[in-house]
Structure 1
Amino acid sequence: MMNGTTTRTVPVVLAGAYGHGWWHLENLRRLTDGGLVRLAGVCDVREIEPGLLRGLGSPEQSTDLGRLIERTGAEVTILVTPIQTHRDLAIRALEAGSHLLLEKPPASTLAGFHEIEAAVQRTGLACQVGFQSLGSAAIPAIRRLVAEGVIGRVRGIGVAGAWERPSAYFTRSAWAGRRRAGRVDVMDGALTNPFAHAVATALAVAGKGAADDVADIDAELFHANPIEADDTSCLRIRLSDGPPITIAVTLTADRRHEPYVTVHGTEGRITLTYTLDRVRVESRARGVSTTTYARADLLENLVSHVRDGGPLLVPLHRTGAFMRVLEEIRLAPDPLPIPDAHQEIEHENGVVVRRTIPGVANLTARSAEHLALFSELDVPWAAPRAVLKVAGQAVAEYNWRPELATTLSPRPYLHPVRTLRGVPVTEVNPADHVHHLGASIAVADVSGRNFWGGRTYVRGRGPTWLNNHGVQNHVAFTRRDEHAFTETLRWTGVDGLDLIEENRRVTARPLSRGWALDVEFTLTNLTREPLTIESSATKGRAGAGYGGFFWRAPGASADRAAFTAWGDEPHGSRAPWLAMSADDWTLVFVQDADPWFVRIDEYPGAGPALAWETPLVVERGLTRRIVTIIADGRLTPAEAAALVTDIGDIQRER
């Protein structure tokens, strides 16, 4: 009896009797014995084994879900089919007149999720999502404790999950471990399937359920097993209003470790072991306590809603934030492989039966403790690099969180950048100027802060070592694939003041001869006062107007040459393009906003100069764009001009 009112039995159809369906069958037996439900039908593409339906009567069996619902009059459908089938079958069940218990994740794409949402609104029926952990009374209890200030101000939420899975787990079905099957998105990765509860629980603890609650996401996806999807991954979720959330999970631990969510506060912490509904509170004011909470069954809750109108615990619309996370993972570059050298590989009869990453459970715990990504925890296989490709060929690596000395003004940079024949055309930390970092965006002076590295030119004193080096911090990739990325960065001074928020867009584009690197950046002033961009030239060092996009190239001085579209002196020219070449490569830089800074004899370096002779005052912000053509061999001026003509369409894009 539920809510002490109605006792009628609700007819149910189960779609998907195998895999996780066995758990639902056991739950149906319990609720059938209690007189709450009756299994009216089972839908599966396979014949149901005798005994699988033990204690559940003789439900009708069919491979057609819609017709089965209509014939049996099922009021509730439990959908436990492969992820990529959720959208179509959920809509079919709703349109056939059945309420829905939809296994997580709700869909394999955000678009599919919205289509199910539309069907729910159109039919007026209920859809409960099978995030069982969200039925725990522990979650509202934690939110009350936070609201009462038991742990002070919340600094962030960290999640750790470490399970072990044999190799057979990733071959359990045709879709196991897949990101997609042909053109169909599957999304059977660690973050989106086995540890989907970890993501959903963290969002629920933060009180966030709508897609708009998520501002941006930074994901680091890896796999130790030879699969498409991730088995070892982490991400950082930034909310539109709320604390940051980091989640680190793996399926390559040496044993099962119970996953947990930790809410870090200024006066303590709260840890929820969500598989056990156990909450540990560590508070300076209240000491240490542990409480285990009750958990409501989601099917039972849905039946209560159908019979008596009670509220749903996990309605579809409250899982939009989770789906936003899934969508970002879907659009992210394919997970990177973890080299065998960092694994322990177990064989039986010459066949790999298990892969384990030593210490990985501790790594996920460190992530939850420090609210850090793998790349921020000195993990050798999680080096923070993004690879850009042209026609499937890697042409550039982007180091977005380099470990650099403060005096180098740490910043992301591109290196190595290569021609299509594999010739490197960038150099990092050369002996003559160790603060030159491949292709990067560097400014000598932003209102007294050095974002170039090395010494600062002081009028009347010359180059001088000052404690004024800033850092460009990677915040998040807002879009990233093998051809391009869009990144948000913060420029922070040595005094800890955030001066600039930068939006950086980098794209690798194929050309008829070579390829093009398209870089656009927007600098937004975060201070209340105008920012002043200066170069050494603006302080009295003639010709030293460097600052902005800067490319440090390799090669001996005898091999190097530079020329412009106008055939004039390259250094200081305002020609629409500048070429730098050596015997086996040519770079053609194209932009029309600033004069060119060029060095050939002393070292090979070039780029547009933001502050050539006079300081540049930035009230609100500025945007610059430069397209660099990377070609094999030494081009003539005519050949360079022809390539510039080829990128006309690229230049017109925005």
Structure 2
Amino acid sequence: MRVVLAGAQGFGSHYLDRLRRLTGLVELAGVCDVRPVPPESLAGLGSPDISADLPGLIERTGARIAILATPIPTHAELALAALEAGAHVLVEKPTAATLADFDRMERAAAKAGLACQVGFQSLGSAAVPAVRELIAGGAIGRVTGIGVAGSWPRPAAYFTRSPWAGRRVLDGVDVVDGALTNPFAHALATALAVAGADERGAVASVETELFHANGIESDDTSAVRVTLAGGTPLVAAVTLCAAERDEPYVLVHGEKGRIRFVYTMDEVQVDDGPVQRFDRTDLLVNLVEHVRSGVPLLVPIQRTGGFMEVMEAIRVAPDPLPIADDHQDLSGEGRVLPGIASVVDRCASELALFSELGLSWATPLVVGGSPVAEYVTSPDLPLTAAPRPYLHPVRTLGGTVVTEVRPADHPHHLGAGLAVTDLGGRNFWGGRTYVRDQGPTWLDDHGVQRHLAFTERDAAGFTETLSWLRPGEDALVREERTVRARPAARGWVLEFGFTLHNLTGAPLTVRSSATKGRAGAGYGGFFWRAPAGSPGLRVFTAAAEGEERVHGSRAPWLALSSEAWTLLFAQDADPWFVRVAEYPGVGTALAWDTPLSFDARLDRKVSVVVVDGRLSREEAAELATGR
């Protein structure tokens, strides 16, 4: 059967190799390319007609099939042109750059009465129906979720191999190159096929976490949670920044076991049972047989509708966020995220996104294209530390770290965040609890702040929902927290706001150690632990200077500075809690010397300007006014 190939270079060279192997079944009648085709690349394939005009090439050669191995944004127009010229189409994955283009292609194929097969080669594997049969037969019980993991290395040259590589948009045209939409597109499509969710309407919602370690526009490390129409979660986590190649796989979770499907090797394993290997049908061979005798297509375009719904969600998602260099190994040909292979495995195993594993790089705050802070949502800490989300590291624009986590002097101090010594009788600060007439005492009273979800998220920050509770008890409050970063006249500004919604049905009381008899220990609220040992520490407000004079004061702003940095805090609701001599830290005091009770809600906001170098009082006042 006569075929034409559009795109003979790049990935098109793989099709040329396949066509050589299929000599006798197909004949390469023509090659369509906008660049000169080296004669040696066509060795063993006869003398095909070469032209940049695909419809004209199809008409001159009488080709029955057009193979499209061209850049992603060209798929739709070339497919429509080939169908209009009367050829069946085999288009390389992904189907198209946009869902709208997918719809156009699907309609055009139906109108022409011609086949449009999509080159998801993994869907030609007999392992896919075999896995579905295992699920239907109850081999693992009811399916509770599907995980996907993939980790490959890529050199820097991979992202410069073509003008569209590593791009989301090129010259105003959607490209949507990225880890999940291109190299690992098979992983996502295979998982959707296993779930029986491969057509339009199968996807209810998509959450995205897209990152890049390389200096590119698109993502090289990605995680998505796809909620299927029936409610089943599908979490896919992949990276192109691994130290070595691990074969990607689909992990089907069931109530009674798991199925592991290594789709690149067509291998299936139920729990610890024997590995079964299955055959795979070449999609070009399948298309030829379909044209000749009506054999069903293995990957008709409509079978990629579910994948395109996920790809569309990735296309319109916020731009990928950068991963700071200090999380990377830069010693080789490509950037490596140490330990990332085990991270994507955990995502697939736990059906969790990167941020839900407590990875600080997974929730960065970005100013001027660079991460200036990272947010840990789910730290792995003992209960005595009152586990809670926190910001660390926080950096100046010059890269100096201005927070500290779990220092030896106070291992429950966690960067910058919200901590309360006593809320409703529970310790959300960590460490010992102050008991009147007894002093600091270890009590079994610690609570946790549990991250529930991000309701808004972009490069500049997020809005988050949290639950405050003592494990095993009902939640005391639900918190809505908003954290944002923005440029300032000097440095940058962190804005931190929270609302505590009382869930107890009765007034809820905030207490500090000071309200229990420990003079001056009014800590509890927003708290910033700065690095110990910072040289030349100085603390001041507009009217006073020194720890003794500013501690417990009410002032619209307060500055803590060292020789290398200045932190300018601003809020007007509560007194300031300040430490310099014992350790460097600044916080707001919700209950300075009197308990604070609230009924429905408690709201607070604070802003912090983070500046390189030391500010004078005059400079701090000017910056506080114009922040």
Q: 1:349 aligns to what?
A: none
Structure-2 separation of matches of 1:244 and 1:617: 41
**Alignment correspondent of 1:117:** 103
Q: 1:599 to 1:338 in 2, by over 3 A?
A: closer
C-alpha contact 1:427 1:437 (8 A) present in aligned 2: yes
1:81 matched to 2:70? The reply is yes
Q: 2-side partners of 1:420 and 1:272: how far apart?
A: 45
Q: 1:196 to 1:532 in 2, by over 3 A?
A: farther
Partner of 2:319: 331
Stretch deviating more after TM superposition (69-78 or 455-464): 69-78
The CA distance in 2 between the partners of 1:524 and 1:171, in whole Å, is: 50
> Are residues 1:264 and 2:253 paired?
yes
The reply to whether residue 534 of structure 1 matches residue 506 of structure 2 is: no
Whole-Å separation in 2 of the counterparts to 1:198 and 1:556: 51
2:398 and 2:328 map into 1 onto residues whose CA distance is 28
| 2:223 alignment partner, one of 228, 235, 238 | 235
Structure 2 residue 535 is matched with structure 1 residue 561: no
Cα deviation for residue 438 of structure 1 reads 2.6
Q: 1:335 to 1:51 in 2, by over 3 A?
A: same
Q: 1:292 aligns with which of 271, 278, 288?
A: 278
SS in 2 for 1:318: helix
2:147 and 2:252 in contact (8 A); partners too: yes
Counterpart residue number, 2:430: 453
CA distance in structure 2 between the partners assigned to 1:436 and 1:508 by the alignment: 22
CA contact (8 A) 2:222 2:238 kept: yes
For the residue of structure 1 that corresponds to 2:123, the secondary structure is helix
Matches within 5 A, 1:325-474: 326-327=314-315, 331-334=319-322, 368=348, 384=361, 388-391=365-368, 395-420=372-397, 425-430=402-407, 433-457=410-434, 463-472=440-449
Tell me if 1:275 matches 2:277.
Answer: no
Partner SS state of residue 319, structure 1 = helix
2:233 match: secondary structure = coil
CA shift in 2, pair 1:309/1:530, >3 Å = farther
- Is 1:20 aligned with 2:11? yes
- 1:454 partner letter: G
- Give the letter aligned to residue 451 of structure 1: F
1:561-582 CA-partner distances (Å, limit 9, x unpaired): 23589xxx9777777x332344
Provide the identity percentage: 48
The answer to whether the 8 A contact 2:323-2:371 is kept is no
1:628 aligns with 2:618: no
1:199 alignment partner, SS class: helix
Shift of 1:440: 0.8
Note the C-alpha offset of 1:44: 0.8
> What runs of 5+ residues in structure 2 fail to find an aligned partner?
none
Report if the CA contact (8 A) 1:151-1:269 is conserved. Answer: yes
Deviation at 1:323, TM superposition (A): 0.7
1:552 is displaced (CA, Å) by 3.1
Measure, in 2, the Cα distance between the counterparts of 1:340 and 1:422.
15
2:494 matches 1:517: yes
Partner of 2:182: 193
Letter in 1 for 2:559: M
Deviation at 1:14, TM superposition (A): 2.8
SS in 1 for 2:95: coil
The aligned counterpart of 1:651 is none
AA matched with 2:269: R
1:324 Cα offset (Å):
4.9
8 Å contact kept, 1:217–1:478: no
The range that moved more, 476-485 or 58-67, is: 476-485
* CA 384–49 in structure 1, closer or farther in 2 if over 3 Å, else same: closer
1:225-279 per-position Cα deviation (integer Å, ceiling 9, x unaligned) = x988776x4635253622352434557566x654322223342221212134332
> 1:454 Cα shift?
1.6
The answer as to whether partners of 2:126 and 2:278 remain within 8 angstroms in 1 is no
Aligned to 1:245: 235
Contact 2:164 2:177 in 1 (8 A): yes
Letter matched to residue 297 of structure 1: L
2:118 is the alignment partner of 1:129:
yes
Q: TM-score, normalised by structure 1?
A: 0.72
Contact residue 486 and residue 504 of structure 1 kept, 8 A? yes
Q: Does 1:580 align with 2:559?
A: yes
> Taking structure 1 as reference, are residues 557 and 531 closer, same or farther at Cα in structure 2, changes over 3 Å only?
farther
Partner SS for 2:132: helix
Instruction: Determine the structure 2 residue equivalent to 1:317.
Output: 305
Q: How many residues align?
A: 607
- TM-score normalized with structure 2 length: 0.75
Q: Deviations over 1:506-535 (max 9, x none)?
A: 33222223321123445677x786794623
Per-residue deviation, 1:368: 4.9
Aligned partner of residue 213 in structure 1, secondary structure: strand
Q: Give the structure 2 partner of residue 646 of structure 1.
A: 626
Q: Letter of the 2:33 partner, please give it.
A: D
Aligned ranges for residues 159-174 of structure 1 at < 5 Å?
Answer: 159-161=148-150, 173=162
Q: Distance in 1 between matches of 2:622 and 2:335?
A: 52
The offset of 1:43, in angstroms, is: 1.8
- What are the ranges of 5 or more consecutive residues in structure 1 without an aligned counterpart? 1-8, 346-351, 648-654
Cα distance in 1 for partners of 2:143, 2:589 equals 43
SS of the equivalent of 1:317 reads helix
CA offsets 1:274-306 (integer angstroms, 9 cap, x no match): 1343322238xxx76736366473773598499
Question: Take 1:81 and 1:295, find their aligned partners in 2: how far apart are those partners?
Answer: 22
Q: 1:106 & 1:574 partners in 2: Cα distance?
A: 61
Select which of 550, 559, 563 maps to 2:527. Answer: 550
The alpha-carbon distance between structure 1 residues 64 and 603, as it changes in their structure 2 partners (threshold 3 A), is: same
SS in 1 for 2:189: helix
- Could you tell me whether the CA contact under 8 Å between 1:443 and 1:533 is conserved in 2? no
Letter in 2 for 1:105: P
Are 2:577 and 1:598 aligned? yes
**TM superposition shift of 1:80:** 1.2
After superposition, the Cα gap between the structure-2 partners of 1:634 and 1:160, relative to the gap in structure 1 and judged at 3 Å, is closer
CA distance in 2, matches of 1:18, 1:303: 26
Taking the aligned partners of 1:518 and 1:70, their CA distance within structure 2 comes to: 63
CA distance in 2, matches of 1:342, 1:298: 41
